[in-house]
């Protein structure tokens, strides 16, 4: 079958340019791949262009904008998801303008499409009591319960992203006097995160239970599903929400209605901040590129700010027992004001 120039360029872009020239992580490449899978679906459904007929010439600025609108209007994508898809398209046409000079003008028009402002959503996190209640729920007399406790407690204690915990292998865990876990995050950047003793006990018990402490198991997925396959994002979400429902039934005040794996990461960040840990250390634990990203936790922690203000408050404002007008007729006071 004859291939189009789009098929040729997108194949080279994903398989060679991103990993070799840009050093993009596997997760980034998969995200970009998904963007163009959606674009092909859009072209077939709305433009009636078969996937094996789509060419670079057809991909105009107007078509890309229609695709972005389709994501939000038909698929109900958020501004964040729209921007993620647009970032993939920008990257592709940035590459393409050097590979296909005759189409450079349209490439630049597409690269000029602006991102939408992110919605200002409140960060969802649990209190320390809420985390304790959540982690009480798994039945640790079973193998699955041990896995779930090890998974959820590790996600909270280390503040890792859901994909980071999915990608972990037993070899990433270093059990010593000061135990650590090696996490590979965005942009293939690795970081070491210290593990607390209680977390190490959970992990060691889990590793022994499943035989993951043996040398030959070093590169196996750390957390598997019932089919001995690596957990997925949906699988991690399912596990968390199952125990969240159980904990909410026990105490609905401590467990928010909306909860996701990222809520555990947010919770860890907030608790570190409330414990007085400097933002720069929280940044390194979470794997943020800039401390500006971490500052969002400082901005939203109103309760913590209120407690600080109370602790340093000095009574310097005179406090009258009652306004002067209360000792007189209000009309008389108004006239004399």
- pTM tops 0.85: no
Nearest to 250 by CA among 125, 127, 134, 124: 134
In angstroms, how far is CA 165 from the centroid of its own chain?
Answer: 12
Annotated catalytic residues are: 161, 186, 262, 265, 288, 297
pLDDT at position 332: 63
> What is the chain's length?
337
Q: Boundaries of CATH 1.10.150 in the chain? A: 5-111
Q: Boundaries of CATH 1.10.443.10 in the chain? A: 128-307
> Residues in the chain with pLDDT < 70?
1-2, 119-123, 289-337
Name residue, tokens 């109103």: 302
In this structure, are residues 32 and 88 in contact, taking their beta carbons and an 8 Å threshold?
yes
Token digits of residue 15: 């398989």
**How wide is the angle at C-alpha 38 spanned by C-alphas 36 and 42, nearest 5°?**
115
Q: Does the domain spanning 128-307 belong to CATH 1.10.443.10?
A: yes
pLDDT at position 333: 55
Backbone torsions φ then ψ of 166, nearest 5 degrees: -65, -40
pLDDT at position 327: 55
Backbone torsions φ then ψ of 287, nearest 5 degrees: 80, 25
pLDDT at position 308: 46
Write the DSSP symbol of residue 19: I
5-111 CATH pick, 3.30.2010, 1.10.150, 3.30.9, 1.20.272? 1.10.150
In this structure, are residues 45 and 25 in contact, taking their beta carbons and an 8 Å threshold?
no
pLDDT at position 196: 82
């Amino acid at each position: 079958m004859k291939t189009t120039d789009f098929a040729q360029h997108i194949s080279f872009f994903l398989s060679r340019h991103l990993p070799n020239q840009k050093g993009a992580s596997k997760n980034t490449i998969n995200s970009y791949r998904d963007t163009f899978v959606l674009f092909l679906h859009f072209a077939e459904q709305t433009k009636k262009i078969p996937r094996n007929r789509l060419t670079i010439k057809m991909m105009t600025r107007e078509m890309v904008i229609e695709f972005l609108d389709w994501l939000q209007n038909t698929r109900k994508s958020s501004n964040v998801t729209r921007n993620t898809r647009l970032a993939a398209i920008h990257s592709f046409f940035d590459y393409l303008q050097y590979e296909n000079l005759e189409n450079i003008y349209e490439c630049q028009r597409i690269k000029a499409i602006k991102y939408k402002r992110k919605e200002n959503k409140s960060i969802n996190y649990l209190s320390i009591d809420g985390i304790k209640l959540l982690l009480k729920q798994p039945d640790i007399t079973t193998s699955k319960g041990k896995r779930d406790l090890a998974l959820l407690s590790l996600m909270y204690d280390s503040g890792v992203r859901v994909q980071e915990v999915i990608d972990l292998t037993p070899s990433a865990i270093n059990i010593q006097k000061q135990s650590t876990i090696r996490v590979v995050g965005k942009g293939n950047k690795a970081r070491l995160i210290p593990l607390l003793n209680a977390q190490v006990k959970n992990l060691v018990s889990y590793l022994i239970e499943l035989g993951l402490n043996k040398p030959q198991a070093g590169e196996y997925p750390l957390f598997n599903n019932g089919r001995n396959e690596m957990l997925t994002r949906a699988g991690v979400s399912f596990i968390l929400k199952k125990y969240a429902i159980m904990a909410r039934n026990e105490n609905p005040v401590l467990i928010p209605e909306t909860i996701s794996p990222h809520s555990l990461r947010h919770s860890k960040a907030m608790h570190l901040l409330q414990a007085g840990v400097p933002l720069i250390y929280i940044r390194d634990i979470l794997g943020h590129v800039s401390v500006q990203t971490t500052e969002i936790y400082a901005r939203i922690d109103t309760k913590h700010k209120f407690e600080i203000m109370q602790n340093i408050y000095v009574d310097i404002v005179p406090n009258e027992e009652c306004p002067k007008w209360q000792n007189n007729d209000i009309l008389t006071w108004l006239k004399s004001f």
